[in-house]
Structure 1
Amino acid sequence: MPTDAPATTVVVVTWRGADHITECLDGLAAQHSPHRTLVVDNASDDGTATLLARHPSRPAVLRPRRNLGYAGALAAALPHVTTPFVAWLNDDAVPRPAWLNTLEDILRADPGCAAVASVLQRPDGTRQSSGVRLTADGHGADLAGAPSPTAPPFGFCGGAVLLRLAPLRAEGGVPAGFFCYYEDLDTAWRLRLAGHGIAAPPDRPDAAVVHRHGASTRPGSPRFHGWNERNRLLTLLRCAPAAVAVRELARFAALTAVLPLRRARPGSGTAVPDAPNFRVGLRCRVLAGVVIRLPGTLARRVVVGRHRVLARSDVWRRWAGK
């Protein structure tokens, strides 16, 4: 590869992103590091295609016939990536000019590192994420504090991350069937099991990413909670120790079963939160989605197990609840 050839393909997934995709592409055009931009336009019908065609950066565009979701679009883009690195970037995220070259330098400096997280900031300047931690019940949670090279996060937020292409492909790519949410935690977990490192993001203002968050999906909506709950359980079944996966699935099912009783006894001291993920119908749909996908999920668990160099229990003890 020529020394001046781009090292990274930045994959931007958009769906009806006409009101923010231009700002994202402007941010990429201002990067210090040369790169390729590949936009996956998930069958938008709001004029996004026209904006992409007119943007001076002239990004390459994949246009599926239907909305594949974030995970599905990332998976669809992967065969088109030929650079050593691939970045994922939300269409409502605007990277600072030093974002890409700073993350590339981190990966180049450590061949054992498969990914480096980004600092994501809200538009008001507060920090949204410095990577992702693994909770004691198997949720992925944003780390809002300052990043630390000596205490890296378990994983990364998929809204802005740089990955090394070879290990990403070797460890199974992106779980396209997730549609959206938890594809980042699942990917990070598989990389960890295979012995790869994930670096903390650089704490540099000129390398941060400003993220509007939820421009394409509505955090807190029933769909949001449905994808989150289903994909957390699928990730556990694919990656976690068997006892942990079975425990969390059983807990989810048991709580679903007792919710009607709790609502029937409002003075019992066990009030039910007024949130979509505590609605019995949504939880039943989540369980049905897990059951339907169980054969394929367990088959994937076997493949993940064949690729791992670390015990699932060791990874869980090292990272869960930290």
Structure 2
Amino acid sequence: MNHNYLISIIGPTAIGKTSLSIAIAQHFKTEVISADSRQFYREMQLGTAAPTTKELSAATHHFIHHKSVLENYNVGAFEQEALSRLYDLFETHSEVVMVGGSGLYIDALTKGLDDFPQVNPSIRATLNEEFALHGIEPLQIKLKSLDPQTYESIALDNPHRMIRALEICIGSGKPYSSFINKDKAKRKFKTITIGLTAERATIYERINKRVDQMMAEGLLDEAKKLQHLQHLNALNTVGYSELFKFLDDEWTLDFAVSEIKKNSRRYAKRQLTWFKKNDAVIWFDYQTSLKEILESIKGEMS
């Protein structure tokens, strides 16, 4: 019988995952693994809504600000490191909490990654160059031709996902989708997934307020310090790429902030689309009491 439980807290950005994860960790006297791919980087504090110093002191966290934007880090490396850390934690805790909004990273830890073939790095370099010169539309057209199934399911406005799918198609001569959802290694724990959600208008309002708060706390100054590194993959993300446009005199500040809000709302929509594919998620309104959520978790353990 499996007595190790990973309690995974998911939901769209700005919904309240961090505070809930800490409360649950405190209840079970355990620790928290972050699966937010933007919060890994120590230089990106404000724009990623990383836990505050006070929140980090309320429960031990792992995979928060443990990397630099100058380091190459990907979901495969996270899977290996996080799985090792998780099994170490299970030596002294029956329950561990995971929190984050990065669906691919969450799935990597809970289910394992799909096994893709190695392809020539020059393919990605060529695709990146094509994207830089001509934008994302030619990549979309190419993917639709090579792999219609992935074209219908992928986030078409996400160049990183688009390029990843294309490099597999081109490098292997097979559709990216043909490598998806094959048999994976079994995990030696049970995952209990708690989802937080709200009406769309409420989610969008919370996002807008969070962006305003980030700006008030100094996000623009943080972006200025990172402007010279804007070419790095880690910084090609919502909250920073828009402010770089302002700092490069391409946009006004008001427009850049409005774009952060718009792109954050789009990101939240994509998050929910990803999470809704998991039928095992137990969904709660974001205002649900901790007591009710804990009762549900304990019910899953019985």
Normalized against structure 2, the TM-score is what? 0.28
Normalized against structure 1, the TM-score is what? 0.27
The structure with more helix, counted as a fraction of residues: 2
The structure with more strand, counted as a fraction of residues: 1
